[in-house]
Chain A
């Protein structure tokens, strides 16, 4: 009598089920505890010869985009740290890349930095070990997006505003208000050719608009919105969505959509404006009267950095007046170190970007992570970044 052969299919199912069971048990075991803070870095040691950075496009130029634009080579020569840069297009991407632990540092905007600090992904630093920190614009020091519990977490890099970029041939006269992208009365003439950043943080831009045009909502901080304020902003964006041609996920796509004629007006950065103007496209940008959102970036050190000393040297390098001048002019932003203002090839650069203009600076609502704690007498009923992300999916449809 033949012994029954084991059914191979049954064996396969058994393997799958047992594997599943193992993973369920492993997965249900405990929750991640985040270690925030920890010890401060108090000295720079010997450099390691390698540096892995996460940066915005245009922040770590090594001559490959434009031969004359290069501040990486000088750094490599001086410190012996070979730089490898991963360009990211959103703060979300940067946070996720930092969490892999494979990078030494990041140029974090305010909507990423708090998440990184809270998640224990970056280290506090005693800033006195970085010689250029002393010359940094005081407005950028000890802000609520780079300092927690009195501990500093990075070297300020520079800041900029989100501007209204428009095609000068199609949009006449030059727009002065965000109503030209939000209010159907003014925006519908551009319907199908309006663009906006594909980023949940754009909800704050709607809040900035409503702060002036619907004052009874009582919006003060566009990142701390309660139920009514949030719903009003989301509704405004859903209305805008009907007029949107496409959202732009990164600077390159934004530039090509103006070049191809698919967009004529929308929120953008000075970087795209300069790039398009440099290519001879009929565009211009300005800062509407309602004010705007903006970003203020800080170089931060990963708590799992394989090359922490190289990163600290990089942070100091990026804070030096020469590098600050080069970056600010190339990218199109206000430098963090005002000593750069004398070194820019365009002597009016700092004036153009209001680098020393406190009033202008105060008009900008810099990106920061929305959290439930409203920070005022409303308590903890404000919408979190999670809510913003989900709402963004609804807005896009």
Chain B
């Protein structure tokens, strides 16, 4: 039998050769897959944070107001010596805590009903209802509240016959509006956390003789607490950084407002002010981690 000259193996296409490169090299595969998101995270996100933090050490040219890139602690000096920044930071953290507690108290019964009591169809409807406000623009919601809280607004109109007056614009109004806006962000994590508790635990607790209150305190709360902490991260951090709501319904400045008003005229000082919420949030997240918020969320 005549040996036929075998044709040379057909050249593999570029795509197949690229695939060969990754064959048997799992670390290269992982690196290639992660390169884009990691690039965004490190360069886009962390990189811009780093640039901003560096800017906090710069200062302004006195006459033109342009940024001079020399190193100085002036801005941090201002933050520590001027009382107003302490007041503003305290006010912001206080309102953030108040909003978190308020939302936790409001969200829990709603989430419990959704997770444990409602029938499946009702459950679906309630989830949609809770998420529906998020479909409308943030500014629309704040604008609506601004109108309601105004002197001739709906709230004063409703309270008028009883001789009462609404809170008007102020820190109370900010607390009210923020509690409203962030509520869905608290309901959903708690709902998710409660859903994970098997019904059998309730039965077992009842069989062992625990009244509903005891079941709640000893079984439900410890299991849901990480979910509540996870939800609180949203409400706390979102309130901490917000400047639109205080600008529209508040009368005093929050951290966000001071950053906003300095952002245009004194960027280094604005950058220095932003270190305050960063530090607060780092501490908060470390505590949250301790309390188990990042497990099984």
Contact = CB atoms under 8 A, between A and B. Distances in A.
Interface of A: 5, 12, 15-16, 19-20, 23-24, 27-32, 34, 36, 90, 92-93, 95-96, 99, 115, 118-120, 192-193, 198, 200, 244-246, 249, 260-262, 371-372, 384-386, 389-390, 392-394, 396-397
B252 to A, nearest CB: 5
Given A386-B266, A393-B84, A19 B50 contact: yes
Given A24-B54, A261-B151, A32 B264 contact: no
Interface in B59-78: 60-71, 78
Contacts of A389: 261-262, 265-266
B240 to A, nearest CB: 18
B47 A30 contact: no
A28 B88 CA distance: 31
Contacts of B69: 27-32
A385 B65 contact: yes
A246 B251 contact: yes
Interface in B5-38: 27, 38
B46 A262 contact: no
A262 B51 CA distance: 41
A93 B60 contact: no
Given A386-B60, A386-B65, A389-B265, A262 B147 contact: no
Contact of A34 (B66, B85, B265): B66
12 contacts: A19-B47, A119-B65, A200-B265, A260-B147, A260-B152, A261-B151, A389-B266, A390-B269, A393-B85, A396-B253, A397-B87, A397-B252
A16 B53 CA distance: 14
A370 to B, nearest CB: 11
A19 B48 CA distance: 10
B247 A249 contact: yes
A160 B82 CA distance: 36
Contacts of B258: 393
Contacts of B70: 31
A31 to B, nearest CB: 5
Contacts of B215: none
A389 B151 CA distance: 30
A262 B262 contact: no
Contacts of A115: 64-65
Contact of B50 (A23, A198, A200): A23
Residue of A99, A245, A393, A394 contacting most chain B CB atoms (<10 Å): A393
